[in-house]
Amino acid sequence: MAGKPPAGDPVQDAPEVAAPQHAAAGLPAIGHTLRMAQQQMGVKRTALTLLRVNQKDGFDCPGCAWPEPEHRHKAEFCENGAKAVAEEATLRRVTPDFFTAHPVSDLARRSGYWLGQQGRLTQPMYLAEGADRYEAVTWERAFDIVAEELDALSSPDEAVFYTSGRTSNEAAFLYQLFAREFGTNNLPDCSNMCHESSGSALVETIGIGKGSVLLEDLYKADLIIVAGQNPGTNHPRMLSALEKAKAGGAKIITVNPLPEAGMERFKNPQTPQGMLKGTALTDLFLQIRLGGDQALFRLLNKLILETQGAVDEQFIREHTHGYEEFATTAREADWDETLTATGLTREKIDEALRMILASERTIVCWAMGLTQHKHAVPTIREVVNFLLLRGNIGRPGAGVCPVRGHSNVQGDRTMGIFERPAPAFLDALEKEFGFAPPRHHGLDVVRAIRALRDGEAKVFFGMGGNFVAASPDTEVTEAAMRRARLTVHVSTKLNRSHAVTGARALILPTLGRTEKDLQGSGEQFVTVEDSMGMVHASRGRLQPASPHLLSEPAIVARLARRVLGENSRTPWEEFQKDYASIRDRIAAVIPGFEDFNARVAEPGGFTLPHAPRDERRFPTATGKANFTAAPVEHPELPAGRLLLQTLRSHDQYNTTIYGLDDRYRGIKNGRRVVLVNPDDAASLGLADGSYVDLVSEWKDGVERRAPGFRVVHYPTAAGCAAAYYPETNVLIPLDSTADTSNTPVSKAVVVRLEPK
């Protein structure tokens, strides 16, 4: 049947379904973690490696961007952090012999899970034009090939330099410097598909695209609203922070179409009491329809405005702009429209309002459930309006908390990985390095795909990540990549992007976080920035997976010298030899990094400045925090259709599939499942266990199909469905993106379910 993994792929997609769970972590998580880790690393390496995660002299967990607590627990890792580590520290190896046995045509038929399970990449590999097999090449030859193709371009803007979010600050800084000396701002990154909407909304309203709370603020909050986020799976260490916040008296409102186990109850594996009973986290669950959040916050704002004394008038007078226009619009919010958009009852919204009014200090946390919608940017702006109304920004226990994904995605942006760099940043680069950086904007992810599709971009270079699988409209994206002259991937593990290539292709294997990085001046460390703007060192301890690996900074430095030649006055050799020399330059170019080397040597690192958080100063165009007023939007749902969100299972890290279970949701041994509300399933005549094709319908009239999904009756909000990414990326039209941020709309795809 279509949709089953190809013959020879040992993975059988045969989902088994049990009831969803109502608590996260606890004993089963520990057993599960150790089993998975030991399969990859063996017993001794498992013990040695996991003890080093997020310790002060250890490496930064390559899992998520959640910050480290001040007093680190002996085992400051979580189940999914341990899986991320095991995936990297695995003892399995992909050698040149592997590529002899598996031509590209064979790799292209394998599942992402199978590709990842083959182990760590060990040598640079080259796919020549017309060839079907990668062959081992030297690093010199690999750099020559990249230089040949870059030299042949008629403009530097025909090259695209993508970054995923695990790249260290040092590597990211060198990479953007190289791209800009080469002559382009074509620096798309995974953020374009992730928190771009948060950045767009926050820069405009508070003047900085980053969250305004620190860990201790969570502990001081009266109310924490967690909207559009599944921390039990994607940021498990956040559950300990929420538990601590609750112990200090905080209440939690969860806004989600799905009842996620982690937000229901958390069994802290680090306390005996936690293991037994656990803590109920959510006080009020708002089971919202997909895309209903803007309407919800708009109505809450109206209700706050109508409550005597609820608005922080002094804060609004002194620190904000645009209040009157916002208030006029918000007062027009309509109960009926809100109830339709959200699927909530009046009672639930009233209860939420009572909790909001009772709270002196409120924090809103969010992730992909808010950012990946067409109206994501106005939705997040409405969250900002909500916080501004009661002065909940720039004081302890209050603020905006967009929870980032990849462990250094925020740092990569800070380092200048951005297709639309600020003029001040380019000025600083120009002054420090003595070249004229390009000033016109570059391509983001969606625009890069279009440029490749249309033959306007010819070289794709990926610093980490899995561009082909992570991007929307899989068929379009794959065809676009195949049109390139050259595709290059700096990677730790094999993935689909190595199998869907340009005319020529290179795989450049690199060190992971866990590994020792030895350069001319001795052992190096790198730095990262977490979701709350804390910068700290990360030092790997393991022997590298192969003697042929180069670090990311070394790859960029050597490539830059080869491509730019002696004309480049940048000391690339010095940078490679001693990463402290890179940090000195970061200190000279990027505000907040003064004395970088000295400050990062302090245990735990340092916190970057954040004007709204630190001094209630808002560096926006108006010099104030901006209220905004936009029309309320929510997705339209034609009759007989469902609104599909594409999300993560518990056993995956983005396109890296660790296993085939989604334990908290009761799914085992398969990923091609679609979760449907039982009432919707009944009216559509879809029995639990029946098979359907997912067919997306969009205004371009193109029919996009993901075949062979098992229907699972599941308590999601009415009218909504859910299925895993990246299997469903084929359904997301390239042109279906968020206004302003251009992020693919991954959380609201209109689909019909066609019975098999």
- Of the candidates 661, 663, 673, the one whose C-alpha atom is nearest the C-alpha of residue 260 is 663
Partner from Mo ion, ligand MGD, none contacting 502, C-beta within 5 to 8 A by type: none
Restricting to residues 229-288, which ones interact with Mo ion according to CB under 5 A? none
Q: Which does 164 bind (CB under 5 to 8 A by kind): Mo ion, ligand MGD, none?
A: ligand MGD
Which C-beta is closer to Mo ion: that of 194 or that of 415?
Answer: 194
Q: How far is the CB of 728 from ligand MGD (least distance, A)?
A: 6
Residue closer to Mo ion (CB basis): 194 or 380? 194
Q: Which of residues 180-199 bind Mo ion (CB under 5 A)?
A: 194
> Which is nearer to Mo ion, 397 or 464 (by Cβ)?
464
CB atoms within 10 A of CB 153: 17
Residue 230 binding partner per list Mo ion, ligand MGD, none, with a CB distance cut-off of 5 to 8 Å that depends on partner kind: ligand MGD
Q: How far is the CB of 274 from ligand MGD (least distance, A)?
A: 20
**Cis preceding linkage at 726, omega within 30:** yes
> Which does residue 168 bind out of ligand MGD, Mo ion, none, counting CB within 5 to 8 angstroms by kind?
none
Residues 80 and 653 sit within 8 Å (Cβ to Cβ)? yes
Q: How far apart are the first and last CA of the chain?
A: 10
Based on CB atoms, which residue is closest to Mo ion, 408 or 524? 408
Q: Distances in Å between the alpha carbon of 309 and those of 303, 506, 603, 649?
A: 12, 63, 45, 44
Read off the DSSP letter of residue 78.
-
Least distance between Mo ion and beta carbon 405 (Å): 3
Q: Which does 224 bind (CB under 5 to 8 A by kind): Mo ion, ligand MGD, none?
A: none
CB contact at 8 A, 409 and 194: yes
Q: C-beta of 689: minimal distance to ligand MGD in Å?
A: 22
* Residue number, 220 or 496, with CB nearest to ligand MGD: 496
The neighbouring-strand residues paired with 542 are 515
Give Cβ neighbours of residue 597 (< 8 Å, ≥ 6 apart).
580, 583, 584, 587
User: Judged by CB, which is closer to ligand MGD: 255, or 476?
Assistant: 255
CA distance 461 to 385: 39
Distance between CA 469 and CA 465 in Å, rounded?
9
CB of 123 to ligand MGD, least distance (A): 15
45-54 contacts, C-beta under 8 A, 24 or more apart: 45/89, 45/91, 45/542, 46/86, 48/541, 49/85, 49/86, 49/89, 49/514, 49/541, 49/542, 50/75, 50/77, 50/82, 50/85, 51/75, 52/514, 52/541, 53/77, 53/81, 53/82, 53/85, 54/81
Q: For ligand MGD, which is the closer residue by CB, 119 or 612?
A: 119
CB of 63 to Mo ion, least distance (A): 12
Query: From residue 117 to residue 156, what is the string marking binding to Mo ion with x (rule CB under 5 A)?
Result: ----------------------------------------
Taking alpha carbons only, the member of 571, 591, 590, 589 closest to residue 581 is 571
What span, in angstroms and rounded, lies between the C-alpha atoms of 24 and 105? 41
Instruction: Assess contact for 327 and 281: CB atoms under 8 A.
Output: no
CA 430 to CA 447: how far, in whole Å?
26
CB atoms within 10 A of CB 3: 17
Burial of 575 (0-12, 13-18, 19+ CB in 10 A): buried
Residue whose CB is less far from ligand MGD, 485 or 493: 493
Instruction: Report the residue number, 33 or 164, with the smaller CB distance to ligand MGD.
Output: 164
Give the C-alpha separation, 403 to 748, whole Å. Answer: 20
Site string for Mo ion, 401-420 (x = CB under 5 A): ----x---------------
534 binds, among Mo ion, ligand MGD, none (CB under 5 to 8 A by kind): none
Q: With CB cut-offs between 5 and 8 Å by kind, which of ligand MGD, Mo ion, none does residue 544 bind?
A: none
Residue of minimal Cβ distance to Mo ion: 405
In the complex with ligand MGD, the residue whose CB is nearer, 293 or 530, is 293
Question: Among 332, 284, 330, which residue's Cα sits nearest to residue 310?
Answer: 330
Rank residues 343 and 405 by Cβ distance to Mo ion and give the closer one. Answer: 405
Residues at the contact surface with ligand MGD, assessed by CB under 6 A: 63-64, 80, 164-166, 190, 193-194, 227-230, 233-235, 255-258, 260, 288, 290-291, 293, 367-369, 372, 405-406, 463-467, 470, 490-493, 495, 510, 512-513, 552, 645-648, 652-656, 725, 728-729, 732, 746-747
Binding mask 676-695 for Mo ion (x = CB under 5 A): --------------------
Give the total residue count for the chain.
Answer: 756
Q: What is the DSSP letter of 314?
A: H
Query: In terms of CB distance, is 445 or 488 closer to Mo ion?
Result: 445
Nearer to ligand MGD, 220 or 648 (CB): 648
Q: Cβ of residue 521: shortest distance to ligand MGD, in angstroms?
A: 22
Nearer to Mo ion, 177 or 194 (CB): 194
Structure token digits, residue 643: 């609104």
> CA torsion, points 613, 619, 624, 625, in degrees to nearest 10?
-50
Q: What is the largest CA-CA distance in the chain?
A: 74
- Between 384 and 403, how does the x/- string for binding to Mo ion read (CB under 5 A)? --------------------
Rounded Cα gap, residues 310 and 308, in angstroms: 6
Task: Give the C-alpha separation, 646 to 464, whole Å.
Answer: 22
Residue 90 binds what, of Mo ion, ligand MGD, none (CB under 5 to 8 Å, by partner type)? none
Using CB distances below 5 to 8 A depending on partner kind, what does residue 234 bind out of Mo ion, ligand MGD, none? ligand MGD
Q: What's the rounded Cα separation, in Å, for the pair 152 and 502?
A: 15
Q: Which is nearer to ligand MGD, 556 or 625 (CB)?
A: 556
Distances (CA, A) of 452 to 455, 482, 746: 5, 9, 21
CB 67, CB 113: distance < 8 Å:
no
Contacts of 431 (CB under 8 A, 6+ apart): none
Least Å from the CB of residue 191 to Mo ion: 7
Q: From the CB of 167, what's the least distance to ligand MGD, in Å?
A: 6
Minimum distance, C-beta of residue 620 to ligand MGD, in the bound complex (Å): 26
Question: Which of 263, 253, 311 minimizes the C-alpha distance to 285?
Answer: 253
Name the residues that contact Mo ion, by CB under 5 A.
194, 405
